[in-house]
Structure 1
Amino acid sequence: MKFIFMMPGWEGFASDSRVLHDALNKSTGSKVPTKIGYYYLVDAGYTNAEGFFTPYRETRYHLSEWRDECAPRNKKEFFNMKHLSIRNVIERCFGLLKMRWAILQSPFYPIKTQCHIITACFLLHNLIRREMFVDPIEHELVDLSNNEVEVDELEE
């Protein structure tokens, strides 16, 4: 649940593929780290490329489609189910980042300042994940979800 690469500065409406292309071909500054035998998990907004795994298109993928113990019917669906479960970890990581640093919710700074804020928040997030045995924000969320389960059980 740590970030290994970030590239702030793109507008929110830029396509995922365009941002990735820029990150892979950047002539100055940092580039997406690539290593033979390792892969990045990306969503369907990207194209399949060497070192990047996208889910199969036109194959069940969303969480709602896997409820009620509906097992995968073939290899593509099984891959998509596993892809989704790993992507949930990625989404949880972004959720923690946004909960921890409310400043990321406010776009009221010049773009250069926003880039510095984003970089600082990512670095501090990784430091907390590396140095603290228990992430206080994640621990608080687990406690809240456990209490909600207990309350639901009492109501039934």
Structure 2
Amino acid sequence: MDGTHVCVKVKPEIQVMYWNRHDYASINIMAICDMNMLFTYVWNGALGSCHDTTVLSLAQNGDSEFPLPPTDKYYVVDSGYPNKQRFLAPYRSTRNRVVRYHMSQFYTSPPPRNKEELFNRSHASLRSIIERTFGVWKKKWRILTDFPRYDMDIQKRVIIARMGLHNFTRVSNFIDADFVEDFTETQTEDQDNASYELDEAENADGQHMANIRETIATMLWKNQSI
């Protein structure tokens, strides 16, 4: 699961609501994909100014059919989301301690120095599937980077239609160069911005997932040492 911003055209008087931290108007799309790079769920249309945590809350509260994983499973999410039950986020850096996460940070630097970084490297490798999926989707459908002046409702429908065409292309087994291209990992907007809102979400029910994360990290570190 991850979020991505898609540029939109809106009237000047409401543009401030859609303006994101990268200085353009957008909507924040939250999507879930499987390991075959197929979109399995999308929450389409949160304001570009919204934090990923807010978008997740909107989806869960606004969609009675939001697809929560089984109780013994969880979505792999970046640090823009709370580490809470059914959502597994990486370890975050603190003011006193830097914990690397992005795969690019391990290419030319020392290997993981502790169990938290080893967990984060494995987590980032697994979560890269959603980044690759977004990369393929945006590259193939260039309209997503420069919408004509359609009404917002039409712009949202175009986004959903392009996701459907993405899935159709994938399941049809067409020879498609975009799906085999190696998209460079890009740091998403909220991965390194731990906010008060995020901390509050984690404090609510995060201990269960924190224990699972710690168990996995300890196991990975122990197996590496054998």
User: Does the TM-score normalized on the shorter chain lie above 0.5?
Assistant: yes
Q: Which has the higher strand share?
A: 2
Is 1:127–2:199 an aligned residue pair?
Answer: no
Tell me by how many angstroms 1:111 deviates: 1.4
- Partner SS state of residue 6, structure 1: strand
**Partner Cα separation in structure 1 for residue 154 and residue 70 of structure 2:** 32
Structure 1 residue 89: Cα displacement? 2.0
Which is worse superposed, 99-108 or 2-11? 99-108
Task: Give, in angstroms, the shift of residue 135 of structure 1.
Answer: 2.9
Which has a greater percent of helix? Answer: 1
User: More relative contact order in 1 or in 2 (CA 8 Å, sep 6+)?
Assistant: 2
Unaligned runs of 5+ in 1: 143-156
Q: How much does 1:54 deviate? A: 0.8
* Distance in 1, Cα, partners of 2:77 & 2:158: 25
Aligned to 1:16, which of 34, 39, 52? 52
Can you list the C-alpha shifts for 1:51-100, whole angstroms capped at 9, x where unaligned?
11111011111234212362212221111001111222211110100111
Secondary structure, in 3 states, of the residue corresponding to 1:99? helix
Residue 79 of structure 2 corresponds to which residue in structure 1? Answer: 44
Distance 1:131 1:37, change over 3 A: farther
Measure the CA separation in 1 of the matches of 2:71 and 2:176: 31
> Which residue of structure 1 lines up, in the alignment, with residue 114 of structure 2?
74
**TM superposition outliers: structure 1 runs of 4+ over 4 Å:** none
Deviation at 1:112, TM superposition (A): 0.7
2:153 to 92, 112, 121: 112
1-structure distance, mates of 2:104, 2:120: 13
Task: Give matches, 1:80-99, under 5 Å.
Answer: 80-99=120-139
The one-character-per-residue Cα deviations of 1:33-58 (angstroms, maximum 9, x if unpaired) are 43222221111111111111111011
Question: 8 Å contact 1:23–1:32 — kept in the other structure?
Answer: no
Taking structure 1 as the reference length, the TM-score comes to: 0.80
Q: 5+ residue gaps in structure 2?
A: 1-36, 94-98, 183-226
